[in-house]
Amino acid sequence: MHPFWNFVVKFLPTWLAPNLITFTGFMFLVLNFLMLAFYDYDFTASSADHDHVPSWVWVAAGIFNFLAYTLDGVDGKQARRTNSSTPLGELFDHGLDSWACIFFVATVYSIFGRGDSGVSVVALYYILWVVLFSFILSHWEKYNTGILFLPWGYDISQVTISVVYLVTAVVGVETWYQPIFWNFLYRDLFTFMIIACSFAVTLPMSLYNVLKAHRSSTLKHGSLYEAFLPFLSPCLLFVLSTVWVVSSPSKIMDLQPRIFYLMVGTAFANVTCKLIVCQMSNTRCQPLSFLLLPMTAVVLLALTGVAINETLLLYLWTAFVVLAHIHYGVSVVQQLSSHFNIFAFSLKKASSD
């Protein structure tokens, strides 16, 4: 896609800050998430016996997804074009990408939904975790080797999904009910592609490069113990959220799948952002995220029945996680902007006073 991005960036004004491009692209994904939340809040609209999402929504989703992908590709080129590349831009880009995973996955899910020809909400939960771990693997590799490996499958998936949105607008979601061959449905292809890309490309490549660095004594953080330490918080987050899903008294995943996905995706993004900061500053990653302690308490409240309304508890906890993550992001951006004497969304230099 680099030739296309090189062509597009020429049309951007030179006064446009790269971080503003990054943020605009991210907001297109958030807009897609909110749009589908309005028309398909509980992921049932694609089922045969429900009112389907209007065609214009799928057209908008396809356009917005491709715009988000394109802006994510040209922001770095705009930075180099305007000689404004900074560590803040790298953190801003990858930090928002880590949060974008949940908005992207939840929006795609509405194509298939949770009906007979779709994917169950619990199965999608595990698919979401595959996507999240695939994302953090690349940054874990850079944390240990100093090299960021991004598989080309990302480009194919983004373009394909944008096209699928547009095709859905034309032919309707009923098309995805039909098997591709025998009893192999489109949902199965969707699931297979995500899992295959993760376990056949991203995971083995990252492990190979880190172990290769260990054998050649070029690991940035010394030992394999230190190398794998950043996985502690993500794994604990997975355990806590999965225990809640499996043991929920009210079957919270069936009741509020969208909010649960948002909570998990945002908490994971917060953990990932802290790894990215450590990777960029060449500092040791802290093994535990502060969010895990209150989340442990929340899960215990839910499972023991102390919290009478589990749905309300989930909403309150999700709101806390989202606000905590936004606060963390804003604080880091402000501190880096002050340190480098720049503005986050402008190419003007900040005052040195």
Please provide the DSSP assignment of 185-220 as one string.
EHHHHHHHHHHHHIIIIIHHHHHHHHHHHHHTT--T
**What would the pLDDT profile of 290-327 be if each residue is shown by its tens digit?**
899 999 999 999 999 887 899 999 999 999 999 999 99
Position 47 scores a pLDDT of 81
Domain extent, residue 265, equals 3-340
Domains in the chain, number: 1
The share of the chain scoring above pLDDT 70, in percent, equals 97
**What would the pLDDT profile of 67-105 be if each residue is shown by its tens digit?**
999 999 898 899 888 888 888 888 888 899 999 999 999
Q: Is residue 347 in some structural domain?
A: no
Tokens of 350: 């900040």
Assess whether pLDDT exceeds 70 at residue 271. Answer: yes
Dist CA 97 CA 25 (whole Å):
10
Residue 200 carries which DSSP code? I
Position 153 scores a pLDDT of 62
Q: Is residue 256 in some structural domain?
A: yes
End-to-end CA distance of the chain, in Å?
A: 42
Dist CA 48 CA 120 (whole Å):
15
Contact (CB, 8 A) for 71 and 28? yes
Residue 344 backbone dihedrals phi, psi, to 5 degrees: -70, -35
pTM here is 0.91
Q: Is residue 353 in some structural domain?
A: no
Assess whether pLDDT exceeds 70 at residue 164. Answer: yes
Q: Is residue 346 in some structural domain?
A: no
**What secondary structure does DSSP assign to 134-172, as a single string?**
HHHHHHHHHHHHS-----THHHHHHHHHHHHHHHHHHH-
Neighbours of 159 (CB within 10 A): 14
Q: Is residue 22 in some structural domain?
A: yes
What is the average per-residue pLDDT within 53-64? 94
Dist CA 133 CA 268 (whole Å):
9
Assess whether pLDDT exceeds 80 at residue 115. Answer: no
Assess whether pLDDT exceeds 80 at residue 148. Answer: no
Position 324 scores a pLDDT of 96
Q: Which amino acid is at 290?
A: F
Three-state DSSP at 230 gives helix
- The pLDDT confidence band at residue 59, using thresholds 50, 70 and 90, is very high
Strand partners, 342: 349
Mean pLDDT over the full length of the chain:
88
